[in-house]
Amino acid sequence: MGMQTRALVSAKWLANMLKRNLVGPRLRILDTSWYLPSMKRDGKKEFAQTHIPGASFFDIDECADRTSKFDHMLPSEELFADYVGDLGIGNDSHVVVYDASDFGAFTCSRVWWMFRLFGHPQVSVLNGGFRNWVKEGHPVEGTYTRPEPARFTASTKHRSSWVKSFEDITKNITAQEFQVVDVRPYARFRGKEPEPREGVQPGHIPGSRCMPFFSFVDNDGMMLSTEELKKFFEKSKVDLNKPICGSCGSGVTACHLVLAAHLCGAPEEASVYDGSWYEWFTKAPPEHVVSEAESRL
């Protein structure tokens, strides 16, 4: 598929690849499932019980900067290259990512974005995820054979603008060089419902807008059509023709915004605030935490 790799592939397409025994060095499948503690699910344990045949497990907490106090922050080029190489992924592999969340997509867009950031555009999201795969009656398995390691070279050259730091977001409050879009639920964005992380209160970054991540998919967990996505951006007063930066709780579901903007043909790749609200609440002064709640911790 080369440089024309589709951002989304269907369960039917992937099932056909399996039937033709094409899963291997040129086509790798990754289960990227991860859950918040409140969800009471363990992605790695569930993978050991059932997954798409030929898939490997991608742990966003392991392939991360483990020296950071914040969750699953981006790893170095070297760490990413070693991690995916150990999963049998080379620079000529087409990678298909999915997760088993009830949403149809929760963490897979983060891994899709990571591959692209590290210079590997040959990556696709399985539309509808494992939920839809099972619903359509495609095969699953509970055994895992680790692929032969491959050589992978990672580089973020020419893509440093795809990642925003705390300092970038702080500067942007006055500079307004890009639109900050928060994909957490409206209630957390407004400060009306609690955050899932202890010691972090809800609220939002000054000037940011809210587009809840689960609104990018329909009731069946399938990505909305391009036309529907464009209407959602317009309704949310987010201009696809201007720079966009996604934020969420910890930089995971923010990548749904990047995927949606990409599908809409946005002229500039949307960026991600990697630390997102968890970092912002921890570091920002009180006047930069906008909330309808009565007080900050």
Catalytic residues, by residue number, are 248
* Tokens, residue 188: 């957390």
- Integer Cα distance of 63 and 168 in angstroms: 24
Cβ of 39: how many Cβ atoms within 10 Å? 13
Residue with tokens 């969420």: 248
- Integer Cα distance of 43 and 24 in angstroms: 23
- Integer Cα distance of 26 and 37 in angstroms: 35
- Whole-number CA gyration radius for the chain: 19
Burial class (CB in 10 A: 0-12, 13-18, 19+), 13: middle
Quote the Cα angle for 267-7-253, to 5°.
Answer: 85
Residue with tokens 């289960």: 31
Quote the Cα angle for 190-193-198, to 5°.
Answer: 115
Which residues lie closer than 8 Å to 132 by C-beta, 6 or more apart? 11, 104, 126, 220, 221, 222
Length of the chain: 297
